[in-house]
Amino acid sequence: MTRTARMGMAFVAFAAAVSFLISLAGSSLKSTVQVFFLNIADGFDVDRGSLAIATTLFAVVSAVTSSVIGHLADRIGAIPVLAIGTALNGIVLMLSATASELWVFVLTYGVVGAVAVTMLSFVPLGVLAGQLFQGRNSGLFYALLTNGAAVGFMVLVPLWAHLDNSMSWNQVLFAIGVIFLVLLLPLSLALVRLSGTRQPAEATSKVSLWSATTTTFRHPQTRALVLAFIGCGTTMAFIDVHFFPHLHDHGISDSVGASAVAVLGALEVVGSLVAGRLCDLGWTRVTLVGAYVLRGVAMVQLLFVDSPASVIAFGAIFGVTYLATVVATTVWVTRVLPPGVQGTALGVLWAVHMLSVAATSQFGAMLADLQHSYTATIVASSILTALSVLVVAIQPSPDKRMFGDNSTAEGERSPAEV
């Protein structure tokens, strides 16, 4: 192996490691609000619906900016986008922690925070996976890069629940902000410097945002994937915003919820890696359909949460699918669209996803205030997930483009044939 090849491999390894850490830390802004949702509402002396304005605005701003950030990653590369997002996250965490009025918290978290988190999200990481890892293993490596969020579920959420006994939510957010600016920002800037002129051809693509967006919607399969992703968004919103309040309404402690989320995170790692590998083997459609089926089963199970065991079981089933839908959908998009458009397409995909998150966040909270129950929200999410299964199942396989015209449906090809 030549010295240049070794240096290239070292850079890829460093980029993957730093991106993983940033992805892990990037989940902290959302997960702290998730765990401390009721504490924050009590701190500002408001009801759930009022505080949910912040999470709803967060989702809307994320939706509006996702395609722009994806296009930016196409143009300048994913690594600079991740560095900018790291700095913004640190600033937002510290400002949110020191907010004295609800409207300040809402604007800081819901607007600037949404942009910051989106810059560390699956959109630039999807572009980065394509830039770092070429060929048939892109699905597996994308799963590896995005598993930082899964580790966040396993490590950070239980940590926040534990710190709830000794620290206020303000102190927790401020401390995380310091970590972002003191530790993670220098790492991200070092990665930018090391990347130097290594930006791929796609990063200097001259395709306009409008052209890339229209290309996304003109493609029948990407239109279908965007529609199906609504089911992913509504169910993820329930976990991000309503899961702990739902358990609270059923008399289940936060510690049980944190354990369920830790199990969810552990199986999220397993599910995403399996999904990535199956996609690399040419089973993308089967993987995505199966993930949506299991997601629907998990949501229905939420209607019958009556014991710690049932909560843990929900976390296990949902966890297997949590990133599997994201990985399979991302791989599908990159299989059917050309480089230079993929970042924008992923941004459009997440824009629709976040709009569904916004709707579930706000209307779920409002219905809970009115009905003192999340039953209607859970039923609606289950129905949307079932529709996602149908939409994906009728699409042709995206894998023929990679594996050649001799490829048949995923279920008809064994791994040994790939």
Interacting residues of 270 by C-beta distance below 8 A, sequence separation 6+ = 320
Nearest to 144 by CA among 235, 274, 311, 35: 274
Instruction: For the chain, give every domain's residue range.
Output: 19-195+208-389
Please name the fold of domain 19-195+208-389: Growth Hormone; Chain: A; (1.20.1250)
Per-residue pLDDT reduced to its tens digit, 54-106:
888 887 888 889 889 998 988 888 899 999 999 999 999 999 999 989 999 99
pTM tops 0.85, yes or no: no
Q: How many CB atoms lie within 10 A of CB 271?
A: 26
Distance between CA atoms of 21 and 271, rounded to whole angstroms?
A: 20
Highest mean pLDDT, choosing among 16-25, 52-61, 261-270, 386-395: 386-395
pLDDT at residue 203 greater than cutoff 70: no
Q: Show the CA angle centred on residue 18, arms to residues 264 and 120, nearest 5°.
A: 65
**Dmax of the chain from CA atoms?**
67
The string of pLDDT tens digits covering residues 111-150 is 999 999 999 988 888 888 777 765 556 677 788 777 777 6
Name the burial class of residue 104, with classes exposed (0-12), middle (13-18) and buried (19+) by CB atoms within 10 angstroms of its CB: middle
Write down the number of H helices and E strands in the chain.
21, 0
**Coil, strand or helix at 362:** helix
Q: Which two tokens stand for residue 78?
A: 């994913």
User: How does residue 326 score in pLDDT terms, banded at 50, 70 and 90?
Assistant: very high
* pLDDT tens digits, one per residue of 147-187: 777 677 678 877 888 888 888 899 999 999 999 999 999 99
**What CA–CA distances, in Å, run from 120 to 72, 87, 139, 168, 225?**
13, 11, 18, 26, 22
The whole-number average pLDDT for the span 204-219 is 81
